[in-house]
Each structure stands twice: as C-alpha cells, then as structure tokens.
Amino acid sequence: KLTLDKNIQFYLESALEKVYNKFNPISLTAVAVDPQTMEILGLANMPDFNPNKYWETKDQRNFMNHAVASQYEPGSTFKLVTLAATVEEGMFIPDEKFQSGSIQVPGRRLHDHNISGWGKISYLDGLKRSSNVAFVKLGLEKLGQDKLRQYIDKFGFGVKTGVDIPGEVPGIVNMRYPAEFATATYGQGLTATAIQQTAAYAAVANGGKLMWPHLIKEITDPESGEVLQQFEPKVVREVVTEQTAKQVGEYLEGVVSDQEIGTGKRAYIEGYRIAGKTGTANKVVAGQKGYAEGKWVISFIGYAPLENP
C-alpha cells in the first residue's frame, strides 16, 4: 500500500503535461508530500512512459525517476538553508540594510541577477528579491564557513535520504575555497536532488524536524490480508527550533505575498497563506567548465497553508 493520494497524483501528472506541451523542456519533476510525515502524496516526471508497454519507449532516459536519481544545482531554493541557519543563530535582522548588486569574495566577484542591484535594501527585501549578495553576506560574513557547512549537513544535503525508491543519488557538497562557500549560500556549486530539497522544506514547514521520505505505507499478505510490515514516519533529526521554523515560514510567506517585489508572487492564492521560494540555476555544460548560455533549471518549492501545511 503506497502513501500516494490518487487525486494529487492525477493532478500533478495533468499539470506537468500541460507545462510540458507548452514549454517543451528537457524534463519536469514535481513532488508533493505531507510535511508532518514526509509521506509522498504525489510524484511525477515528464517525459514519462507507459509501464504496460515500456519496450516501446525510444529514450532510455525516460525511465529515470528524476526526483531521486537526478542531481541539480538547486539555485535560490537552497537559500532556505542559509536563511534558517541565520535565523536560528540570531543573525538575520530583517530591517538591517546592505548594498545590493555585487560583492567581492576572495578570488571572485559575485552578482545579483540584476547586476546593478537595487541600491541599499533590507535583508528581508533581499530575500523577497532573491538577492545573492544578501545571502553571501549572511552565509559567509555572518555565519562563517564552518557553521554554514554544519547547517547544510544538518538539512540532509550531500547524503542519501534513504527514500524507498531505487536509484537515489546523494548529491555533491564539496566546498573548499571561500568562493565556493559563498556560492553555496545561494545554491550554486553544489548539487541536490528534488527529494532532498522537499525534505528540507518540509523540515521548516513541520516545525523543525527533518523526516525520512517514504512511498510505501504497508505490506500485506495477499492471501490472508494480514499486515506484514508497516512503515511509520521517522524523524531523522531536529534541524532548527520550532520558533525558528515558524519565523522562517513567515519570511518565506513574504516572497509569495509581496505582489510588488516577491519573486514567488505568482504562487499567491487569495485566502491562503503560502510560503515559498523560487530558484533559477545556470546549467553546467556537460564535460566542460562554466555554465551554458540560456539554459536553466527553474524551480519552485512552497507549502500551504502556513499555519498547518
């Protein structure tokens, strides 16, 4: 017996199909979970295949479950880790101002997606506008390399989640130089899987607990109907306090609710409190150094309603 909810699964598949037909991306993945238990309620990929006639599939890559078996540079959705860490450590002061645009770190100059920046803005506006400079300042200058690494590990990146789906990869977290720690604060230069990211957000949504993601609820004997094995929700570890999680959720709500500058404003739904974060990561050219022109990994992670996701 699976944890899947057939309505959510159906909805995910039809939504992805529409997007796939409209934008023709290389691939699409969506995951929906219950953050309290990390039961997977829906999981879909495009392009897909018909499991009843799998031999008719032309491209072997369509057999890959990208939610667990593909790793990506997450980009700005990863800012959750830096944000939660600085809130937990009492270093995130929403009204404090910084100079946006660009920042010099040892060996590199890093920029916001709007290269000239928005002048002197608050850290809360930096979050809403998804300013990379804000997160370099928070993660590198305030937290420091060691603490940043601790929180990245705490949130479960760089290791497998142990999800009960075959083919899972751990992602790569391997920062050595200050510039690599700087880009890690906003999710570049390291890789993660969709299931890791979902579990990290669920940890904030549920009040601070990283949970084990799973798809199998129970195994029963087909003859006798007797339940042979049950899979209960498992807490991996507490990553932040409940108070921090609640505060982070309220900051992430602004990313969606601020219709003027929030990068997640399209996810706003009248009458609901929605927390979320957008991500746009450059794609690496296979076998080469540097990033591809005009190729992107675009993502959104959110949860609702904020009071009880």
Q: Token pair for residue 132?
A: 């990379």
Rounded-to-integer distance, Cα 209 and Cα 245, Å: 9
Neighbours of 106 (CB within 10 A): 10
The per-residue b/e assignment along 12-21, b for 16 or more CB within 10 angstroms, e otherwise, is bbeebeeebe
Give the CA distances from residue 280 to residues 72, 100, 294, in Å, rounded to whole numbers and listed in that order.
11, 18, 11
Half-sphere exposure of 271 (CA within 13 A, CB side): 0
Beta strands in 80-234 (DSSP E): 97-99, 102-105, 108-111, 120-122, 209-211, 218-220, 227-230
Find the DSSP H helices in 42-193: 66-69, 79-88, 123-128, 132-136, 145-154, 178-184
Instruction: Judge whether 76 counts as a catalytic residue.
Output: yes
Rounded-to-integer distance, Cα 84 and Cα 108, Å: 25
Is the previous residue joined to 47 through a cis bond, with omega within 30 degrees of 0?
yes
Which of 238, 237, 219 shows the shortest CA–CA distance to 229? 219
Q: Token pair for residue 28?
A: 């699409």
Residue 278 · residue 77 · CB < 8 Å: yes
Strand partners, 122: 97
- Given 14, 70, 76, 100, which residue is catalytic? 76
Q: Which residues are catalytic?
A: 76
